């Protein structure tokens, strides 16, 4: 008879038992990411050229026109689409799809936060058009393959390779007009996602390394944003941390996150006071305490 397995996690290698410590499967989403402060228009044009696209549908809400107009002026735009609604209602998505078809768009350029990105994803889901995302908040959905649509007050989400933006152009100068309270709230949400990723059921060492890097960047960036809202260094660090926060989304569990994130955010504290190193550390500790109570299983968080 073979010797009994001596240790949990051990496997037989020939005649000997060997304990395997590093064993995991990691999937990386295929996406090009460009960080280039003050150069969004130039790099979006380059990404369009890489895709062989020449007729852009620029998706940006009216409220984002001050940021979208200079960018659109440097691109071959087929149509500007400004009907952007939170949670992407189905009828809004249908009108955007119709506009893309009527103007023969061959690429979607989203400029804005999660709502603009979400609408671009809804169009890509049925048309297959590639997306070049230009975020103006720290929402993070541009780095995921998750889509979301709302019908009759009920939101449906899913994952599909077609909705993953082919390229993201991160320009921290586009964040300078984002008010400090919104910047802090968005940054703390990114921090909570990092905490969630550290202890999610299907996390792996790569996910944890990326999440930890995100925590470090947010720890450094958020206090700078509070101290100097017009300083580009803090905005860049916070934006980098927010991007890192969504790198391991497929292992996160929204049910677990529902327990982890509120506890982490409560521990961090309210308002701008929270965006300091101590607040970030409190959030990470609280998230770790809450994590074991989360439900098993895993799914991507909504866009």
Cα dihedral 61, 67, 72, 73 sign: positive
pLDDT of residue 262: 57
pLDDT of residue 301: 28
Rounded (to 5) percent helix, strand, coil in the chain:
50, 15, 30
Please name each of the domains of the chain with its CATH number. 32-175 (3.40.50.1970), 180-293 (1.20.1090.10)
Contact 170, 239 (CB under 8 A): yes
Query: What value, to the nearest 5°, has the Cα angle with vertex 166 and ends 32 and 210?
Result: 45
First and final CA of the chain: distance in angstroms? 54
C-alpha 225/C-alpha 39 separation (Å) is 20
C-alpha 56/C-alpha 78 separation (Å) is 5
**Structure pTM?**
0.81
Mean pLDDT, the chain cut into blocks of 10 residues (303 residues total): 56 66 82 96 97 98 95 97 96 98 98 96 98 93 93 92 97 95 85 79 85 90 93 96 70 51 53 48 50 35 31
pLDDT of residue 147: 95
C-alpha 134/C-alpha 120 separation (Å) is 11
pLDDT of residue 52: 97
pLDDT of residue 185: 84
Nearest to 279 by CA among 293, 265, 258, 298: 265
Q: Which residue do the tokens 């150069």 mark?
A: 39
Nearest to 180 by CA among 273, 289, 67, 113: 273
CA distances from 196 to 28, 69, 147, 293 (A): 18, 36, 20, 12
C-alpha 239/C-alpha 37 separation (Å) is 11
Radius of gyration (C-alpha) of the chain in whole angstroms: 21
User: How many CA within 13 A on the CB side of residue 71?
Assistant: 34
């Amino acid at each position: 008879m073979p010797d009994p397995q001596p240790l949990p996690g051990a496997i037989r290698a020939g005649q000997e038992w060997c304990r395997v410590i590093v064993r995991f499967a990691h999937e990386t989403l295929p996406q090009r990411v460009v960080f280039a402060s003050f150069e969004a228009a130039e790099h979006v044009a380059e990404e369009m050229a890489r895709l062989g696209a020449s007729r852009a549908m620029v998706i940006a809400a009216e409220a984002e026109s001050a940021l979208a107009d200079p960018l659109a002026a440097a691109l071959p735009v087929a149509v500007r689409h400004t009907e952007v609604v939170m949670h992407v209602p189905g009828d809004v998505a249908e009108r955007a799809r119709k506009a893309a078809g009527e103007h023969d768009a061959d690429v979607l350029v989203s400029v804005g936060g999660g709502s603009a990105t979400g609408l671009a994803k809804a169009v890509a889901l049925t048309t297959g058009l590639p997306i070049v995302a230009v975020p103006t908040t720290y929402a993070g959905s541009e780095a995921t393959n998750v889509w979301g649509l709302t019908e009759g007050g009920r939101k449906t989400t899913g994952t599909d390779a077609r909705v993953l933006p082919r390229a993201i152009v991160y320009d921290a100068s586009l964040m300078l007009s984002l008010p400090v309270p919104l910047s802090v709230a968005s940054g703390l949400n990114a921090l909570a996602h990092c905490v969630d990723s550290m202890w999610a059921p299907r996390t792996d060492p790569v996910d944890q390394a990326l999440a930890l890097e995100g925590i470090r960047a947010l720890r450094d960036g958020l206090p700078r944003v509070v101290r100097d809202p017009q300083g580009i260094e803090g905005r860049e660090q916070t934006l980098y941390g927010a991007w890192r926060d969504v790198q391991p989304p497929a292992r996160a569990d929204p049910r677990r996150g529902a327990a982890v994130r509120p506890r982490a955010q409560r521990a961090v504290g309210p308002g701008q006071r929270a965006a300091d190193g101590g607040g970030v550390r409190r959030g990470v500790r609280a998230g770790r305490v809450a994590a074991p109570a989360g439900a098993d299983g895993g799914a991507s968080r909504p866009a």
